[in-house]
């Protein structure tokens, strides 16, 4: 893997400095796994000393089976042309994560969205409580245990004539007196 | 006296600066903006959540609706992320077709930008021309994909179908036409004193803050930073084609317009090269039955250059026939919130929608 020297060097620098685990995924992709307390130090180190000046993206994944939220910080170095993923897992109960909008102003938007969609608190985060959702008092909707179908059926009513939520193909065939083709039955809701 | 009094002005959710609905809450003194705050939430359709309930290919019907003026980069970015997870090779011909589709999408989006940018300065003629001419590109899309706006054409493993007979010539003819027409647009826009006065020195993105605020695409090139995903991290066949990445100095609306003007030319040139170099062969590496198609466990990040800047998709799979998590980050996510809130103070109310247009703010992309 001679062509991945740059990536390997970066990985070694970061993992040795912070005593972390990580790997080179492929060319231009390096990931490191850190404890949540270390994330802001790693990001600052990468930004100020390794040239990762662009925060490309931040996201959260709800690993409900593990009872963890995984936060992913994707940063990009325009000089080295490498993506570095800093990944951390935090508890799903009372989730709290350090606010990094002092490192990148734009992180504020991502954090406000995560606060709303996953219920993760970022102490010191400035910005109105509501970002996309207004007056939302249910469970944060992007969590895996939020059931969209259940919410929709409890909140909204069926259109008149569709109360039974019957498959539309069967309704049509009943009205017109024709048979539902076999291939259509395969995907029918009523088995 | 009136200048000292601060009033709150709600601009939007419907106003001419924007495709979609978004409100900017402005604190104004006289007609000068003192503070701005972006309010989104009028277009939230929970696409990311809905995708988690659909199979890998069903997601495409939602993806292309992330941003109305340019649906294709969304499809390509997601498709590339899924290909990375699935280790799926894309045939060479499909890569060329993808590039052509992407550049046609870029051109049609530029033409909407011409219309919006000129329209928000009061130059309505240009909008009629460019949106009219845009239909020639939409005709090409209709012939190729079956749809005018939303195509769902780029799929993991390639594209949905091969180019139809005679389509290549039609594209070349349209390119010749657009190349000539662009001179007319430019004359109407850049030679116009009103546009010059309104664009120069307005909506300046400071060079030293640009990257920190998350500025990407033409606004970043407008401050003199040469950055383009097609060059920085070449995807498909962009590394085999010759094209320039234009930059301009100043960071104002004028600089961004100059960048886009030149990019329009470059897109035409890319399409011509791609059509010439496109090899024969397969157009897709067919995916299995989509109802049963299981993508291996893992996480992937893919990014592409859309007309407004970098678009990235983070896709996670837990080894089932549905995506576990899909997160999209478009250029508007930073341009429409952080950047807009930072550069609006000090500007004139009349310039707000003008600035929004030049930054490429696309609300459906912010809230998805």
CA distance B209 to chain A (A): 9
A29, A59, A68, A118, best to mutate vs chain B, most B CBs in 10 Å = A59
Q: Which of B314, B316, B365 has the most A C-beta neighbours within 10 Å, making it the best mutation to test the interface with A?
A: B314
Contact yes or no for B214 and A105 at CB 8 A: yes
Query: Using CB atoms, which residue from B40, B46, B316 is nearest to A61?
Result: B316
- Of A184 and B243, the one with more pLDDT: B243
Model ipTM value: 0.87
pLDDT value at residue B251: 87
Least CB-CB distance to A105: which of B213, B227, B299? Answer: B213
Beta bridge partners of A141: none
**Among candidates B318, B322, B319, which has minimal Cα distance to B291?**
B322
- How far is the alpha carbon of B28 from chain A, nearest alpha carbon, in Å? 19
CA distance A147 to A138: 11
Whether the per-residue pLDDT at B260 is higher than 80: the answer is: yes
| Contact at CB, A53 and B40, closer than 8 angstroms | no
Question: Who among A106, A133, A148 is closest to B41 (CB)?
Answer: A133
In terms of CA atoms, which chain A residue is nearest residue B38? A131
φ/ψ bin of B173: left (φ > 0), alpha (ψ from -120 to 50), beta (otherwise): alpha
Query: CA-CA distance, A70 to B55, in Å (whole number)?
Result: 23
A112 to chain B, minimum CA–CA distance in Å? 11
For residue B307, the model assigns a pLDDT of 87
Residues A137-181 pLDDT 10s? 888 888 988 888 888 888 887 777 666 667 777 777 777 777 776
> Can you list the positions of beta strands (E) in chain B?
6-11, 23-29, 32-39, 154-155, 158-159, 298-306, 309-317, 325-329
Which tokens hold the place of B237?
């066949």
**Mean of the per-residue pLDDT values of chain B:** 88
Q: Is the pLDDT of residue B64 over 90?
A: no
B259 phi and psi, to 5 degrees? -60, -45
Is B268 a residue whose pLDDT tops 90? yes
Chain B CB contacts of A28 under 8 Å are 233
**How many pairs of residues across A and B have Cβ atoms under 8 Å apart?**
79
DSSP 8-state secondary structure symbol assigned to residue B3: G
Distance CA B345, CA B32 (A): 8
Token pair for B313: 């998709």
Contact B213 A106 (CB under 8 A): yes
Q: What is the distance in angstroms between the Cα of A27 and the nearest Cα belonging to chain B?
A: 10
pLDDT higher than 80, residue B150: yes
Provide the 8-state DSSP code for A31: E
- Taking residues B264-269, report their average pLDDT: 92
Task: Say if strands A29-33 and A82-91 run parallel, antiparallel, or are unpaired.
Answer: parallel
DSSP B167-180: HHHHHHHHHHHHHH
CB atoms within 10 A of CB A4: 17
Segment B25-52 shows an average pLDDT of 88
Look at phi and psi of residue B346 and say left if phi exceeds 0, alpha if psi is from -120 to 50, else beta.
left
Cα distance from B216 to chain A (closest Cα, Å)?
A: 10
Flag residues of chain A having pLDDT under 50: 191
pLDDT at position B213 over 90 = no
Alpha carbons B63 and B327: distance in angstroms, whole number: 11
pLDDT higher than 80, residue B264? yes
- Whether residue B2 is predicted with pLDDT greater than 70 in this model: the reply is no
What local confidence, expressed as pLDDT, does residue A85 receive?
Answer: 92
What is the least distance, in Å, from the CA of A81 to any CA of chain B?
6
**Chain B residues with a Cβ under 8 Å from any Cβ in chain A:** 37, 40-41, 44, 46, 48-50, 53, 209, 211-214, 227, 232-233, 299, 301, 303, 310, 312, 314, 316, 324-325, 327, 329, 333-334, 337-339, 342, 367
Closest CB from B46, B301, B338 relative to A108: B338
| pLDDT score at A78 | 87
By CB atoms closer than 10 A (0-12, 13-18, 19+), residue B181 is: middle
* Chain A: closest CA distance from residue B289 (Å): 14
Determine the Cα–Cα distance for residues B215 and B256; give it in Å rounded to an integer: 12
Q: What is the DSSP letter of A156?
A: S
Token couple for B75 = 């499809």
pLDDT at residue number B76: 92
The confidence score (pLDDT) of residue B12 equals 76
Query: Which chain B residue lies closest to A72 (C-alpha atoms)?
Result: B314
- In A, minimum Cα distance to B317 occurs at A61
């Amino acid at each position: 893997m001679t062509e991945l020297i740059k990536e390997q060097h970066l990985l070694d620098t970061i993992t040795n400095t912070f005593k972390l685990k990580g790997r080179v995924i492929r060319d231009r992709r390096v990931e490191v796994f850190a404890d949540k307390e270390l994330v802001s130090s790693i990001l600052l180190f990468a930004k100020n000393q390794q040239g990762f000046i662009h925060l490309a993206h931040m996201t959260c994944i709800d690993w409900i089976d593990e009872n963890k939220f995984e936060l992913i910080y994707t940063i990009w170095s325009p000089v080295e042309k490498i993506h570095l993923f800093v990944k951390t897992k935090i508890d799903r109960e009372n989730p709290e994560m350090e606010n990094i909008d002092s490192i990148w102003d734009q992180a504020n938007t991502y954090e406000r969205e995560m606060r709303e969609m996953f219920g993760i608190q970022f102490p010191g985060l400035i910005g109105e409580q509501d970002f996309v959702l207004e007056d939302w008092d249910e469970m944060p909707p992007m969590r895996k245990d939020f059931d969209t179908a259940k919410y929709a059926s409890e909140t909204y009513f069926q259109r008149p004539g569709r109360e039974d939520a019957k498959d539309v193909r069967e309704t049509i065939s009943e009205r017109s007196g024709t048979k539902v083709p076999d291939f259509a039955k395969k995907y029918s809701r009523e088995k | 006296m009136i200048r000292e009094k601060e009033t709150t002005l709600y601009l939007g959710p419907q106003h001419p600066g924007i495709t979609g609905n978004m409100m900017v809450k402005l604190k104004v003194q006289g007609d000068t903006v003192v503070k701005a705050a972006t309010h989104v939430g009028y277009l939230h359709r929970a696409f990311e959540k809905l995708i988690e309930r659909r199979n890998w290919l069903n997601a495409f019907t939602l993806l292309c609706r992330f941003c109305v003026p340019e649906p294709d980069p969304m499809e390509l970015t997601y498709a590339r992320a899924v290909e990375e997870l699935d280790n799926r090779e894309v045939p060479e011909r499909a890569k060329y077709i993808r590039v052509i589709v992407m550049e046609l999408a870029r051109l049609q989006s530029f033409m909407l930008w011409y219309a919006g940018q000129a329209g928000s300065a009061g130059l309505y003629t240009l909008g009629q021309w460019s949106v009219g001419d845009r239909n020639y590109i939409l005709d090409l899309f209709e012939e190729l994909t079956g749809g005018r706006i939303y195509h769902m054409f780029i799929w993991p493993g390639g594209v949905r179908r091969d180019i139809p007979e005679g389509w290549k010539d039609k594209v070349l003819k349209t390119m010749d036409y657009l190349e000539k027409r662009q001179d007319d647009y430019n004359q109407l826009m850049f030679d116009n004193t009103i546009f010059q006065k309104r664009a120069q020195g307005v909506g300046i993105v400071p060079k030293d803050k640009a990257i920190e605020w998350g500025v990407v695409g033409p606004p970043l090139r407008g401050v003199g930073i040469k950055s383009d995903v097609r060059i920085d991290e070449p995807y498909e066949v962009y590394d085999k084609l010759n094209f320039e990445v234009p930059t301009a100095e100043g960071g104002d609306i004028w600089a961004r317009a100059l960048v886009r003007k030149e990019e329009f030319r470059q897109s035409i040139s890319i399409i011509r090269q791609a059509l010439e170099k496109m090899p024969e062969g397969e157009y897709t590496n067919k995916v299995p039955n989509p109802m049963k198609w299981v993508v291996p466990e893992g996480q992937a990040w893919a990014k592409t250059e859309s007309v407004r800047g970098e678009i990235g998709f983070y896709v996670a799979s837990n080894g089932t026939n549905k995506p576990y998590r899909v997160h999209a980050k478009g250029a508007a996510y930073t341009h429409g919130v952080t950047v807009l809130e930072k550069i609006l103070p000090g500007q004139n109310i009349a310039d707000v929608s003008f600035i929004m247009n030049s930054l490429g703010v696309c609300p459906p992309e912010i809230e998805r």
